[in-house]
Structure 1
Amino acid sequence: MPDESALRTVDVARESGYSVQQVRDLERLGVIPAATRSSNGYRAYAPVHVRALRAYRGLAGAVGPVAARQLMADLWTRTVTEAAAAINAVHVGLARERDEVLRAQKALWAIESEAAHHGAVEGADTMTITELAAALGVRTSTLRFWEREGLVAPERVTSLRARRYDAPAIGAARIVAALRGSGYGIPAVRDIIDSLHSLHSLREGGGPERVRHILVERLDRIGARSVELLRAGADLAAVLDSLTPARDPAPAPA
């Protein structure tokens, strides 16, 4: 007797919002489990296939289609506990991205606040280590420490290899001083400077307003991706419900 609850490919396509060909392609890629075959050879799907395709759509919006395909294909091989941990890692990743942008925004505020009080530093073409330390209100040993930590890279131009700081190095030192003065530790300062470099704010110009705009746009994108992940939540839960329960731990040896 035929299964009354079985869905045809066209039914799954209609319910999930994908085309018939996309349903077949996503099945081939492992995003959904292989359909069973009826006696006449036609594919027979279950409601969980529809929920899985909807879950994939949300994941694709959150982490991109490639990562979403890999994650969905992996979920079918996991226990409920393992799959739940994999999905939780996506939430954690988005939260981490958001924290990094918020930290960069705070850093930008610190940089602009410091610049208002030490604008003269910005106007210099080159400075010695003594001049720069005096301008920033730090010790020369502090500048050497920042150099060892890879935060500031001065030039060495004299026969005695004395340090001189050109405009980019002065700008970097000013940023480091602002962040350290705002309570950021060295690892956090390094992360922030790397983030700002990736935004081309130190080397390619654009000014604070451009950086601020980029950071706001990035927060908006992260927010939209988080919404997509939340939207997929119920469908992901249905997928997890269809998986193998968590395995009992092996008994300890006697």
Structure 2
Amino acid sequence: MRLRPIDLAREHGLSTQAVRNYEESGVLPAAERSPYGYRVYAPRHAAALRTFLALIPAHGHATAGAIMRAVNDGAVQEALRLIDASHGQLADDRSTLEAVEVALRDLAPPGEPEPGVTHIGPLAHRIGIRPATLRKWERAGLIVPRRDRRTGYRVYTAADVRDGLLAHQLRRGGYGLGQIARVLEQVRAAGGTEPLQATLGEWRDRLTARGLAMLAGAAALDAYMGRHCA
């Protein structure tokens, strides 16, 4: 069966230029040319495009393209490495979400007053750690207090205190500083723990959708490789 760029494009609501771009980038195998120089596609190209579009929700546009280029070049091990890395990232994200949920649940007992502005000694005492640990967390970017212009002492705001308590909960749970930093980034991006609480369900839904998309993408890739890359 001979297919034109428009035939591939129409199935997915794409432009013919997009189809040509995908071919030029290696996402689609190289097309044959007619005697007049026009591209001539085959069912393999249509299957490659369907597979690429199925991989995007699972792995993102860039990684999906890299996977398809590797498969089309016969570099199956590279394609599997990319897929493994993407699955690993999803597992890390899911672990981070679970850490946030646990830490927020244990962060502050009901009715405890909001933490106020403080210095390194009182904060270390409140958390139950040494001041040296707070300085280590500062070097790791977990908590970045401002400095008093007059004395040069570290000054911890209410948000810093919250992040310190949250970091302590996560450390007790066995999480590394890098993962804790990602958790705190989520808290800061949400504007605090209360807004973050409201977004946890949406966050979990996104991770679930990615996991399901990975299953669908894997099925599409397996079918493509079995039929067109054997």
Q: Name the TM-score, length of structure 2 as normaliser.
A: 0.75
- Provide the residue aligned with 1:228 in structure 2: 213
1:159-210, CA deviations, whole angstroms, 9 ceiling, x for partnerless residues? 664444332322222222333344434444333223433xx24xx34x42x2
| 1:72-151 alignment, distance < 5 Å | 72-111=68-107, 115-116=108-109, 119-120=112-113, 122-124=114-116, 126-151=117-142
| 1:171-250 alignment, distance < 5 Å | 171-197=162-188, 200-201=189-190, 204-205=191-192, 207-208=193-194, 210-241=195-226, 242-243=228-229
CA 1:29–1:110 in 2, change beyond 3 Å: closer, same or farther?
same
Whole-Å separation in 2 of the counterparts to 1:79 and 1:233: 16
Question: 1:39 offset after TM fit, Å?
Answer: 5.5
- Provide the residue aligned with 2:160 in structure 1: 169
CA 1:182–1:91 in 2, change beyond 3 Å: closer, same or farther?
closer
**Percentage identity across paired residues of the two chains:** 32
Paired residue total: 228
Question: 1:211 offset after TM fit, Å?
Answer: 0.5
After superposition, the CA RMSD in angstroms is 3.5
Larger radius of gyration between Structure 1 and Structure 2? 1
1:17-76, CA deviations, whole angstroms, 9 ceiling, x for partnerless residues? 455725445334432112223557664433322221110111122233344334423432
Q: Is the CA contact (8 Å cut-off) linking 1:16 and 1:50 kept in structure 2?
A: no
Whole-Å separation in 2 of the counterparts to 1:128 and 1:19: 58
Q: Is the CA contact (8 Å cut-off) linking 1:9 and 1:20 kept in structure 2?
A: no
Question: 1:130 offset after TM fit, Å?
Answer: 3.4
| 1:52-71 alignment, distance < 5 Å | 52-71=48-67
Letter in 1 for 2:94: R
Unaligned runs of 5+ in 2: none
| 1:22-37 alignment, distance < 5 Å | 22-37=18-33
- Provide the residue aligned with 1:7 in structure 2: 2
Q: Name the TM-score, length of structure 1 as normaliser.
A: 0.70
CA 1:135–1:50 in 2, change beyond 3 Å: closer, same or farther?
same
1:225-250, CA deviations, whole angstroms, 9 ceiling, x for partnerless residues? 33233223233124434448xxxxxx
Larger RCO: Structure 1 or Structure 2 (Cα < 8 Å, ≥ 6 residues apart)?
Answer: 1
Whole-Å separation in 2 of the counterparts to 1:97 and 1:172: 19
Identify the range of structure 1 (214-223 vs 34-43) with the bigger mean alpha-carbon deviation: 34-43
Whole-Å separation in 2 of the counterparts to 1:117 and 1:134: 21
Whole-Å separation in 1 of the counterparts to 2:14 and 2:142: 52
Q: Is the CA contact (8 Å cut-off) linking 1:36 and 1:45 kept in structure 2?
A: yes
Whole-Å separation in 1 of the counterparts to 2:74 and 2:197: 42
